[in-house]
Structure 1
Amino acid sequence: MLFRKKYINNYNPIFSIPINNKPRPSFIKYAMERASKIDVARTELNYVIQPKNIKTGLIIKRYRRLNEHRACAMRAMVQAMLYHFNIISRLVYASVEQLADECGLSTISKAGNKSISRASRLITEFMEPMGFIKCKTSWDKSSRTYMPKVIKLTSLFFMLFGISHTKLKNARLQQLGWVNKNLLIKGLKKISLKEAKLKNKNDRIKKLFEYREKKKKISKRKTLAKNLFTLSPCLSRQKILNILIKKYSISELKKMGSEGLKKLVNIEYFYLKKLASSALVDPP
């Protein structure tokens, strides 16, 4: 029994709308409402469709239904993916990490390391092989690491809660009409669905690259912060002062004065102290 209690950290994951809540298009609101009224983890599609190996295309035989822990995770994840769904590009404008955080599926170890394996396994072992989503990962040459997954929702995903391909297509055309209306107001030319889709996709990839660069900088600062706070408060402040002196020009330091510099050291000290014990920022 003790083993089973430790098996899952959150038995009832629920999607929580982000603090910076943004107005969602009527189609997304409608889809989220539909998905909340139907048990997406127990619909007929989950029993009729056989998952396929993403690399080989060969069918993966299933002999049992989703266990309740994964089913609960899927119910929350569907809501999160819909909330971040871009109607035109059909991409989810959130990373797996962000989706996991908002669904209560991520955990932090005693050492301060974040794990999103429950959300990641749901995507790679079930939702993608079943054909509900498609994932693409890009290689970042500058950092020599893979970028966060770009998730695309398929027509099958919407069929989970009774939204047909035709209704999805109509929603995309309606959204395109709204986009073109705004372009005309700005004195710009209208664009086709294909052009809008490509633009949105490129914007998403650009944001992911920007986030990767931001994450790299924060990671470096976090390493600095952890090293600083192995020292005494006095030595930590002295090192921060030395860093700030190198950062600003002589004229800027004179303008700032000793009091201004002292204030800046205090701000940096408490920021780095907080950063040393926190997880990295979420992707866009």
Structure 2
Amino acid sequence: MKKIKKKYVSNYMPKFKIPKKNKNRPNFIQNSMKLANEIDVARVELHYVIQPKNPQTGEIIKRYRRLNEHRACAFRAMVQAMLYYFNLSTNTVYASLEKLSDDCGLSTISPAGNKSISRASRLISKFMEPMGFLKSEKKWDNILGTYMPKIFILTPLFFELFGVTSKQLSKAKKQQLNWINNSLKKKGIKPLTEEKIYIKNKNLRIQKILEFRKSQHNFYIRQKRAKKIISNNEFQAKQKILKLLVKNYSLNELQKMGQGGLKKMVNIEYFHLKKIATMCFSKNTVLNK
């Protein structure tokens, strides 16, 4: 009798699906996605000449074989997804790991209704980051006392997978910045400098926190902390939020943000904490969209 092999992965042919609310992506992104689709990014020469390194220690990780086909398929889909959500101005992927996993068809749901994104997580932490295709930043959420989702920063090596050089990437970034500043100029708004873009990128972390707080993961732990902060009167709660919030920024960044900008962020935090504190969660509730 023939032995039945155990199912290795739930989705053998994952593929990135462009969201229904399709954003009009810059020409550079569209062209990059096309190039990455025309070439097999999982089998290019780079994979055979680069030695992966431990992101924390820098030590070389020995590889004994090429990507197996399951991970190769996942990698092809992930490259497309990361390009789609890539922001040229900040080098950042504007999507959480969960969102990337969902859009690539890499997420799985257990019979109990629990979602797993481990396949996407392993692809990034065990392969893409050690190979140098991206860097990830994981920061602590001072307000709710949990880690916020990782932010992914694509490196020039990522674009070399499909033949885009560092020079071409740099040129595209300048063109994108000029386009943004010309649009701002027409509206009578001051142009963005590299310094302002850096702060914008840092503010993205706050945005990611707010999105992550809506997800199921550790929801009740975060809700308990939110209730504790909101249990004070509004003034005391906002003072608490202010003290925790400023830890995310340097003194120089806070000065540039100004009192008005900081006050606005405190108000946004207060509103979201109130929402979390009163939110009812069930397995049928979709909170992460």
TM-score class, shorter: 0.7 to 0.9
1:45 and 2:51 are equivalent in the alignment: no
> Per-residue displacement from partner, 1:35-61 (whole Å, max 9, x unpaired)?
000101100000100000111101001
The aligned residue for residue 203 of structure 1 is 203
> Per-residue displacement from partner, 1:121-144 (whole Å, max 9, x unpaired)?
000000000000000001112222
1:142 and 2:143 are equivalent in the alignment: yes
> Per-residue displacement from partner, 1:175-201 (whole Å, max 9, x unpaired)?
000111111112122222x13531431
> Is the Cα–Cα contact under 8 Å of residues 176 and 196 in structure 1 kept in the other structure?
no
- Taking CA–CA contacts closer than 8 Å with sequence separation of 6 or more, which of the two structures ends up with the larger relative contact order? 1
> Per-residue displacement from partner, 1:83-137 (whole Å, max 9, x unpaired)?
0000110100001110000000000001111000000000000000000000000
- Report the AA paired with residue 154 of structure 2: L
> Is the Cα–Cα contact under 8 Å of residues 113 and 279 in structure 1 kept in the other structure?
no
1:169-208 alignment runs, 5 A limit:
169-192=170-193, 194-208=194-208
> Per-residue displacement from partner, 1:201-235 (whole Å, max 9, x unpaired)?
12321211222344479945xx9xxxxxxxxxxxx
Equivalent residue of 1:204, what SS? helix
> Is the Cα–Cα contact under 8 Å of residues 14 and 104 in structure 1 kept in the other structure?
yes
1:91 and 2:92 are equivalent in the alignment: yes
> Is the Cα–Cα contact under 8 Å of residues 149 and 209 in structure 2 kept in the other structure?
no
What RMSD, in angstroms, separates the aligned Cα atoms of the two structures?
Answer: 2.2
The aligned residue for residue 152 of structure 1 is 153
> Is the Cα–Cα contact under 8 Å of residues 133 and 157 in structure 2 kept in the other structure?
yes
Alignment TM-score, normalising by the size of structure 1: 0.76
Where does structure 2 lack aligned partners over 5 or more consecutive residues? Answer: 224-279
- Report the AA paired with residue 91 of structure 1: T
**Larger mean Cα displacement after TM superposition, 180-189 or 169-178:** 180-189
Alignment TM-score, normalising by the size of structure 2: 0.75
Q: For residues 121 and 189 of structure 1, do their structure 2 counterparts lie closer, same or farther at Cα, with a shift above 3 Å needed?
A: same
Give the alignment partner of residue 282 of structure 1, picking from 263, 282, 288: 288
Q: For residues 82 and 61 of structure 1, do their structure 2 counterparts lie closer, same or farther at Cα, with a shift above 3 Å needed?
A: same
- Looking at structure 2, the residues matched to 166 and 180 of structure 1 have their Cα atoms a distance apart, in angstroms, of 21
Where does structure 1 lack aligned partners over 5 or more consecutive residues? Answer: 224-271
- Looking at structure 2, the residues matched to 110 and 37 of structure 1 have their Cα atoms a distance apart, in angstroms, of 37
> Is the Cα–Cα contact under 8 Å of residues 41 and 71 in structure 1 kept in the other structure?
yes
- Looking at structure 1, the residues matched to 101 and 155 of structure 2 have their Cα atoms a distance apart, in angstroms, of 20
Q: For residues 170 and 215 of structure 1, do their structure 2 counterparts lie closer, same or farther at Cα, with a shift above 3 Å needed?
A: same
**Larger mean Cα displacement after TM superposition, 180-189 or 25-34:** 180-189
The aligned residue for residue 126 of structure 1 is 127
The aligned residue for residue 228 of structure 1 is none
- Identity over aligned pairs, percent: 53
- Looking at structure 1, the residues matched to 124 and 217 of structure 2 have their Cα atoms a distance apart, in angstroms, of 29
> Is the Cα–Cα contact under 8 Å of residues 54 and 128 in structure 1 kept in the other structure?
yes
Larger Rg computed on CA atoms: 1
The aligned residue for residue 227 of structure 1 is none
Q: For residues 3 and 140 of structure 1, do their structure 2 counterparts lie closer, same or farther at Cα, with a shift above 3 Å needed?
A: farther
Equivalent residue of 1:276, what SS? coil
Q: For residues 55 and 217 of structure 1, do their structure 2 counterparts lie closer, same or farther at Cα, with a shift above 3 Å needed?
A: closer
- Report the AA paired with residue 210 of structure 2: E
> Per-residue displacement from partner, 1:1-21 (whole Å, max 9, x unpaired)?
5443x2100000000011111
- Looking at structure 1, the residues matched to 82 and 213 of structure 2 have their Cα atoms a distance apart, in angstroms, of 24
Q: For residues 70 and 76 of structure 1, do their structure 2 counterparts lie closer, same or farther at Cα, with a shift above 3 Å needed?
A: same
- Looking at structure 2, the residues matched to 129 and 155 of structure 1 have their Cα atoms a distance apart, in angstroms, of 14
Q: For residues 216 and 15 of structure 1, do their structure 2 counterparts lie closer, same or farther at Cα, with a shift above 3 Å needed?
A: closer
- Report the AA paired with residue 282 of structure 1: N
1:1-284 alignment runs, 5 A limit:
2-4=4-6, 6-192=7-193, 194-215=194-215, 219=219, 276-278=282-284, 280-282=286-288
